[in-house]
Each structure stands twice: as C-alpha cells, then as structure tokens.
Amino acid sequence: MNKNQVLKQRSITGILFGLSVILLLLSGKTGAIVLAGFIAGFSCYEYVRMIFPKNKKKLVLSLSLTFFVIILFSAIPPLSILFLGAIIVSCVLLLLGILHMFVPFINHKKYYWLVTIGYFGMPMGSFIAFVLHQPNYNGGFWIAVLSTIWMSDSFAYLIGSRIGKTKLFERISPKKTWEGFIGAGLFTLPLAYVAGEYFLNTPPDLFDPETAGLSTGLFLLLVACFAWIMGTLGDLVESSIKRTFNIKDSGKLLPGHGGILDRFDSFIYIVPFVLFLLQIFRN
C-alpha cells in the first residue's frame, strides 16, 4: 500500500476502534469490565506469542493466571487497606519494568507467567475492582484519562516529527525525541486542566474537590502528568520487549495500528497510579 492508503487504513481503524472503546466505557460498569478483560486477555496473548509463538501450554497458563488474579482483585473493596496495598504493589512492579530498560534483569522466557500477572492481571484487576464496587460509575472520567494519553501521544508525534532532533531513548524507540516529549507535556497538561475544570462532571463518591482541597481540573492535571510521563515510559517498556524478540507490532488485530498491547500499553501503565491518586483524594 502507498502512504495515502496506509493513512486511510489507520484513520478508519483508529476512528472505529476509538468509538468502540468510548461506547463501552459509556455503556456502564459491564461495558467497562468487558473492555478491561479484553485488554488484559489480548495483551497477555500478544505478549506470550512474542516470546513463544507456538507454545499453547505457556499461553494457556499465562491467560489462566492473569484472569485468576483479575477475579481475586474483583473481590477486594476499593476502600480497604488491602486494595491500597495491592495498588502500591502493582505500581512498584510496573516501575521495575521501567528499571529493566536501564538495567536488564527480567528473563522474559523464564518468568513470562510472572510478568503477565504484574503487567496485565494486577492493573486491569484493580481497574475492574474499582469499577465493580463504585456506587456511581462514571465512564466520562475514564474517557478523560484515555484522552490525556491520546493527546500526549498525538502531540509528541506532531511536534517530534517536525522539530525533534534529540533522541529520547534511541536504543529502544528511535523515533521518540525529547522535543516531542516536552512538547506533549506543554500542550497536554493545560488542556487536561481546562477539560477537568469546565467539562468533566465527576460524582462525589469518585472525587470530592471539597474534601480533597483540589478542583477537578487540578486532579485531571495530575492524571495528565502520569499519562504524559508514565504513559511514555509504559510505551517504551512495550517497545523494549518487542525489540528483545525482534517484533514490529505486538499483534495484527488492528490494521495499521498493530495489536491491542500496542494501543493500550500506556493505559495499562497509568491505571494503578490513577487509582492510587483516587485513593488519596477520594472522600
């Protein structure tokens, strides 16, 4: 295909997939849980397939452990100390994934099953637990979270492709630049604040500005910081795994965009940190 055909394919796929995600989140708790299960299942599948292309036993084991952890997490009340502890552990494990880019110590072929638990099971399990036990589910909030990721990615690409010269992490992602990264933050953070302050309506049980001492705009600004920094690092972590096994895309489910893990690597990485913020600031 020529460049115009590729762009058309990417655009159509992106629009249809984006609308599907938004509709699932807006449809209520069931839709959000289905989306999280879909992300966890397909991401786990793609990850194991990158390492063991033909080993069905390892794939079944990884999927079974991932969904077993998700089921365990779904039973934990979000206001409990146990849930807070689980989120902290999840954040630490994801930070170890970032550390691995600088000081490699994770043997994916040996500990693939453990990686699937920490990479997919715990983040998506904590998301499902929060959604399941939340009295007044608000899909608009999670759409806002995804929007900060999409904005950050888009601005990083637009700015980096035009003025980017200094490589951010060339060994892992040659196209990412410091100019694109900084530009993404300069545009994403103020836009997130404005969206939170004037357009996002969150129910009191999700986030109470009076109790927390923060406006919704400031809270979404904090979320955008994680989307910008941790989202970028999460994308680099996935890129490092693909480079380890000489894979271009994690999968082929989305024509022109790769696999599910390619599209949700940043979201997976920031979910535990967003939930940690919610635990700190909720009433």
pLDDT(205) > 60: no
pLDDT(257) > 80: no
pLDDT(209) > 50: no
pLDDT(42) > 90: yes
Looking up tokens 């806002």, which residue turns up? Answer: 144
What is the structure's pLDDT at 204?
44
Q: What is the pTM of this model?
A: 0.90
**pLDDT, tens digit (0-9, with 9 covering 90-100), for 220-255:** 899 999 999 999 999 999 999 998 898 887 877 766
Looking up tokens 């950050």, which residue turns up? Answer: 152
**pLDDT, tens digit (0-9, with 9 covering 90-100), for 157-166:** 889 888 888 9
* Residue type for position 50: M
What is the structure's pLDDT at 211?
47
Whether 204 contacts 176, CB under 8 Å: no
Phi, psi of 52 (to 5 degrees): -125, 85
Whether 129 contacts 74, CB under 8 Å: yes
- Taking residues 207-226, report their average pLDDT: 73
Average pLDDT value over all residues in the chain: 86
pLDDT(206) > 90: no
pLDDT(282) > 70: no
Q: What is the CA radius of gyration of the chain?
A: 18
The residue ranking higher by pLDDT, 138 or 60, is 60
SS3 for 33? Answer: helix
Q: Which of 78-82, 184-188, 247-251 has the lowest mean pLDDT?
A: 247-251
Alpha helices in the chain (DSSP H): 3-26, 29-51, 56-74, 81-102, 108-116, 122-133, 139-163, 178-198, 209-212, 216-244, 260-281
Looking up tokens 């449809």, which residue turns up? Answer: 27
**pLDDT, tens digit (0-9, with 9 covering 90-100), for 89-108:** 999 999 999 999 999 999 99
Q: Which of 135, 133, 32 is nearest to 76 (CA)?
A: 133
pLDDT(4) > 70: no
Cβ-Cβ contacts under 8 Å for 200 (sequence gap 6 or more): 140, 141, 144, 216, 220
Q: Using CA atoms, how far apart are residues 261 and 235, in angstroms rounded to an integer?
A: 9
Longest CA–CA span in the chain (Å) reads 55
The residue ranking higher by pLDDT, 42 or 208, is 42
**pLDDT, tens digit (0-9, with 9 covering 90-100), for 108-154:** 999 999 999 999 999 999 999 999 988 778 888 899 899 999 899 88
The residue ranking higher by pLDDT, 174 or 189, is 189
- pLDDT bin (cut points 50, 70, 90) of residue 54 is confident
Q: Write the DSSP symbol of residue 164.
A: -
And the tokens for 120?
């997919």
Q: Where are the domains of the chain?
A: 3-281
Q: Using CA atoms, how far apart are residues 80 and 84, in angstroms rounded to an integer?
A: 7
- Taking residues 259-273, report their average pLDDT: 91
Whether 107 contacts 241, CB under 8 Å: no
Give the number of other CB atoms < 10 A from CB of residue 139. Answer: 19
pLDDT(216) > 90: no
Cβ-Cβ contacts under 8 Å for 69 (sequence gap 6 or more): 117, 121, 122, 125
